[in-house]
Structures are given as structure tokens and as C-alpha cells.
């Protein structure tokens, strides 16, 4: 094998080993079976239908605040927020010390366009099913623990 190829492989091994420390244990990670319908039960089609009829209720201005305050560490995908989950040093990743960045679509103009499409295309569908009692509204403008409790309650 050529020396430069061996060097690339060695670099990749170092990179992967460095990223392993960023991973959470399985016990600390979100697991789909924590709240997804049990596909082995007899009533899984009904459970899946109920799961699909939930919606989050968050005012548009809150979404704008969340998007505009979001910063990410590109290499790892770690996410920070200037108000809700700031890094220890502004603009710097807590683990690597590397600079954080904003995604080009994390801005009010892009979000407004997406929200306009949502309100025109998706909201009428939600309203239709809500009028028939088929929607569980999750009030997502609350602390994450409260949102998790609402989701768990809606899925019971």
C-alpha cells in the first residue's frame, strides 16, 4: 500500500477514536422504542395512526428565537443556543474549542418562508383532524421535561 494511503487511514482512525468520546451511552440516549408504537402488538395499526396525529403547538415568534439563537459545531453536530443552552465560551465548542457556526438556513427569512408554507399547506390538514378529535396537541413552548411528559401522556 502506498505511504500516503496509510497516512490517510491512520488519520481516519485517529478521527474516529476522537469522536467516540462524544457518543452517549445507550442508556443515556433517546431510543425509538421509548415512545414509538409497539409493532409486535395486535393493535399496532391503531397505535401508529394515533402516533401520527400529534402536532406541536409553538408560536412562530418562539421558533424564530430558537432558530436565530442556534449555533452548531460542524464536525460533531453538537448544537448550542445563545439563550437556552449556551456554550461555556461564546462562539466556541465546549469540547474541542473549535469555532461554532450558524447554518445558512438558520435565519428569520428562511424560517418565515417555511412557516408560510406550513400555515398554507399543513395547518389545514391538522385543523381537519383536530376537528374530528384525532390530534394530540403538544404544547412545545415549555421545558423539555414537560414536553416529554406531554408526549408520553398523548401516546397512552
Query: Tens digits of per-residue pLDDT, 49-87?
Result: 554 445 567 788 888 888 888 999 999 988 899 988 899
Which residues span the domain enclosing 79? 70-103
Indicate if 91 and 132 belong to the same structural domain.
no
Q: Which helix (H) or strand (E) holds 113?
A: helix 108-117
Q: What is the mean pLDDT of residues 112-116?
A: 87
Indicate if 47 and 121 belong to the same structural domain.
yes
* Between residues 23 and 17, the one the model is more confident about: 17
Indicate if 85 and 148 belong to the same structural domain.
no
- Phi, psi angle pair for 122, to nearest 5°: -95, -40
Query: What is the phi-psi region of residue 111: left when phi exceeds 0, alpha when psi lies from -120 to 50, beta otherwise?
Result: alpha
Query: Tens digits of per-residue pLDDT, 134-143?
Result: 888 888 888 8
Cell of 103: 447554518
Indicate if 127 and 60 belong to the same structural domain.
yes
Amino acid at each position: 500500500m502506498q505511504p500516503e494511503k496509510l497516512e490517510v487511514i491512520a488519520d481516519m482512525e485517529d478521527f474516529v477514536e476522537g469522536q467516540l468520546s462524544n457518543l452517549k451511552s445507550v442508556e443515556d440516549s433517546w431510543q425509538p422504542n421509548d415512545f414509538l408504537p409497539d409493532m409486535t402488538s395486535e393493535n399496532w395499526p391503531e397505535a401508529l395512526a394515533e402516533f401520527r396525529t400529534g402536532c406541536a403547538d409553538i408560536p412562530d415568534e418562539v421558533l424564530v428565537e430558537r432558530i436565530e439563537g442556534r449555533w452548531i459545531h460542524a464536525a460533531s453536530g453538537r448544537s448550542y443556543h445563545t439563550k437556552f443552552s449556551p456554550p461555556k465560551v461564546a462562539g466556541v465548542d465546549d469540547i474541542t474549542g473549535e469555532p461554532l457556526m450558524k447554518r445558512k438556513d438558520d435565519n428569520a427569512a428562511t424560517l418565515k418562508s417555511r412557516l408560510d408554507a406550513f400555515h398554507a399547506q399543513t395547518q389545514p390538514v391538522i385543523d381537519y383532524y383536530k376537528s374530528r378529535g384525532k390530534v394530540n396537541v403538544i404544547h412545545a413552548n415549555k421545558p423539555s421535561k414537560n414536553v416529554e411528559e406531554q408526549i408520553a401522556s398523548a401516546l397512552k
